[in-house]
Structure 1
């Protein structure tokens, strides 16, 4: 993930559409998050602070609940194919996979992918990534809707598609079993530290 503010200058990117993951590796660190869907470039600014808080809170919840052989990680590189590359907000992988991966994870490595919906990523988080993650065989996909209190939408793979989402509202305890048991109220994801 980029660590600088997005630039207002025009950025010149190497390669020509449709882009490949190899092209993506030559892009500058200009404050934007670059992803690919079927060679089309998806560009997002760095996440807003509330988005970052939600990921930090969820990471802690998952770290506390995870068995030793599983690792929750924020913002990893996920190479789905030569022209498909995503940076999920959070994933769960095996510790063994983590130890052998240098730069990019493969879809088979991911047990859970999580996206926090921002105004600039609504379409891709609700539709594009949901379809892409299911087609890649990722067993579980969680979508956090900050504008809903927040709410947690849990999708589990059934064949080549995700089942309809199980929605958990702020103020209720969500007890989840995949990829391991974890229980929490989605409201805690945006609360300030006590």
Structure 2
């Protein structure tokens, strides 16, 4: 018989720092920070993983060799801001130079696949945080919309209004490199 886990006992008190996160339990949840406040997300759904895997493959096939798509990396934006984007594009050389967490300067594209428990976070909080960190491009993928891809490009210290690409139309994107795909490919069965 499996024991029922007890309450989570945090190793420190808010506001939390990125260094505090290193002492958090490895319990399958995603622990992120926004301005020292703890953001906890449950493990992602199989549909989310499937779409993420498909997107990583599309980007890997289209990217120049000096860029690398990576899923679920640590992004340290400040001492009290830490995020785990679903997928990022980084210079390949930064992979070897980064031991634990990437800095915003390493991230050319951050991608979030919106899930039931992360809607407000992905649509608003992360959009603002990634813009403030200076990440040049942010893609928000709405799986519940067929799926659709919302492309945000940095202009100054904020993102321009998103360009939306729906399932059934080809998104011809230029940043951080040229890539074209139908958002429907993210959830379509192989073959």
Q: CA deviation at 1:33?
A: 0.6
**Over the residues paired in the alignment, what is the CA RMSD in angstroms?**
0.9
Say whether 1:51 aligns with 2:58: no
Correspondence list, 1:156-171, <5 A: 156-171=153-168
- Please give the alpha-carbon distance, in whole angstroms, between the structure 1 residues aligned to 2:83 and 2:189: 29
Give, in angstroms, the shift of residue 42 of structure 1.
Answer: 0.3
SS at match of 2:130: helix
1:8 Cα offset (Å): 5.4
Counterpart of 1:105 (choices 65, 83, 102) is 102
Q: Report the equivalent of 1:68.
A: 65
The TM-score, its normalising length taken from structure 1, stands at 0.95
Query: What are the ranges of 5 or more consecutive residues in structure 2 without an aligned counterpart?
Result: none
Q: 3-state DSSP class of the match of 1:120?
A: coil
Match of 1:37 among 26, 31, 34: 34
Residue of structure 1 in register with 2:178 after alignment: 181
CA distance in 1, matches of 2:24, 2:142: 30
TM-score by length of 2: 0.97
Query: Which residue pairs with 1:134 in the alignment?
Result: 131
Q: Deviations 1:85-129 (Å, cap 9, x if unpaired)? A: 000000000011111001000000000000000010001100000
